[in-house]
Structure 1
Amino acid sequence: MLDRDTRMAILHLKRRGHGVRTIARLVQASRNAVRRVLRSGDITVPALEREETLGPHRSWVRELYADCCGNRQRVQEKLAAEGVRVSYSTLTAFCRRHGIGVTQKQRVGRYSFKPGEEMQHDTSPHTVPIAGKRQRLQCASLILCFSRMLFAQVYPRWSRFECKLFLNEALEYFQGAATSCMIDNSSVVIAQGSGADAVVASGMEAFARRFGFCFAAHEIGDANRSGRVERQFHYIENNFYAGRRFDSLIDLNAQLRAWCEKVNRRPKRVLKATPHEAFLIERPALRPLPAYIPEVYDLHTRRVSVEGYVSLHTNRYSVPTALIGRQLEVRETKDHVRIFDGHHLVATHGRIERRLNQRATLPEHHDPARWKKHPPPPLPEEGVLRAAAPELSCLVDELKRRHGGRAVRKMRQLHRIFLDYPIEAITPAVATALEYGLIDLLRIERMILRHLAGDFFRLPPPAEPGREQEE
């Protein structure tokens, strides 16, 4: 089929007096095609009309599509079962032409912001290797929409406590806050509703009021509304993590903060400047930080166990022994765990990461008499051996040092030797053994027997020299 420009050339050449054969040669088309264009006298390309295989079954295809929950492959199988065989590409093209299961595409807009008008905040799950072990972390980021200044950190979990920690640190990094903060409809910030009807949780609303901004949620599915912050997660995943090694979560966040500083000083084509340079324009329009920013903490109520500890996220923190059984208030901050009895601060511990099952004990809470492990009493056999001779007492000490604990088996074996042989034979044998560092009781027993030979046992007479040669 000839396109619009070729049809226009054919009509133009005809008006100049050229024949059909000449026109066909010049436009490289068949003479019949040239004649059809001249007969129509129109440069509009006619629509290609073909009979559709599924045309008579359009309503049936629509019903099957709804019945199969939008699975076009099942629609194709059901059509084939009824004798209507079409290829999958024919079915999908038919559905597109007739709007079956096709969502009308919407244009996306371009948002422009004035200095200090809006900032955007969101989180994204990332899997990051830390100290050779892959961990699932939550990456949180905040960006100023006008200057595109970025700040990001990662956390092992994401709750309102971590959200307040992050926003507090980010706003201190920017030295101010924009008028509004655009978020998605996360339950961490939103108590109920969505979009324009979203109701911000009271704790988060009070936090925003302290810094002079308000939260605003976009409609569900309208991710383009928060596109400034959404784009950065792909950049962090594919640029920051690549080729970097992290020893701990603290090391990761320190490197991520330094990376944000570097990114904020890179030129952006859309800004025709760096975010840091644009920030110099935006900073006077930001809401200034309050004169006093209280430390963010999460409040817990715990009862002191009989061991003198309070449990928090599988970790245990010590308190004075006098508070055993009392119900105390635990304030968890970013770096510390503070324990209060009413208004009285009773203990301050360094915060341990969650689910490590560790125990933190302050020196003043350690009671040696309470936690000292008393060794078991010595065996009765040991007392008998120590009272028998100084050499046996030294051998007992060596046996306990070598075998640990009470050396029960060795102690009873030495006691049996003491009962079986006279002390006059045992003492010199043990003294000789200790002189050479020998504590093997079997060899000591042979030494005792060698010492007793001829005194307590009848030995065979020595063989005669001549008789020994005859034999």
Structure 2
Amino acid sequence: MLTYDKAKVEVGVQIVERWVLARLRHHRFYSLAELNKAIANLITNLNQRPFKRLEGTRREWFERLDQPVLRPLPARRYEVATFQKCRVNIDYHVEVGGHYYSVPHSLARQEVWARITRHGVEILHNSRRVAAHARSRLKGKHTTVAEHMPVAHRAHMEWTPGRLLNWGKSVGPGAEAIVQHLLTNRPHPEMGYRACLGLLSLERTYSRVRLEAACLRALTIGSPTRRPVLSILEAGLDQQPALPITLTEWRAPDHENVRGPDYYH
């Protein structure tokens, strides 16, 4: 709008406001829909009233001058957005509202802008959109796109607890027992999951046969975790004769306060 048209527009608004208020000032309405209907009827009447000093009506001038040059409304409604400056963490995620959203891993440690709307979060780098996510209100959680991950991380994501157990079973009973222990005896499932992936990586460095032998030795000494297995492999102890396992029946010591098994016969 040109600046010299601003006064004319404001006068037009003033005329409409006075026209409507003057005619509705003694009416009482009981719903917003009823009020809007009354205002719409008055606006129609106003637009069809002839001008006093010009020919025609407001409706006719609108159809002749304004309507032919009007553009169609946007297909999408205007969406309010806020912007937040972020630094990409080493794990290629940015924090927005307590939630973590992934970006391409090549942008780690770089500054980006987050465009935040009611339903989405877009990540911009050098004025170019590099990631888009549905907005989440879950605090401390992550939204990660597989394409943003390094190749090694993407491969790890394909492993599930069930697949890890099947892998341990394919290596041997020793590896299967350690995988089962790691998945069920850690404070958090994620800790056991990472430990199992670490155990799996040893298969690439050492043979499957050596890994199974090391797992059996780790079980024998009562240390069913990855670190003892790695130590055994590095020291070559898996190639030594297996440790003897002696199974003896436990007997209670002779004591006046110990009843012994014969008491229950």
TM norm structure 2: 0.41
Question: Which has more radius of gyration?
Answer: 1
TM norm structure 1: 0.25
- Structure number with higher helix proportion: 2
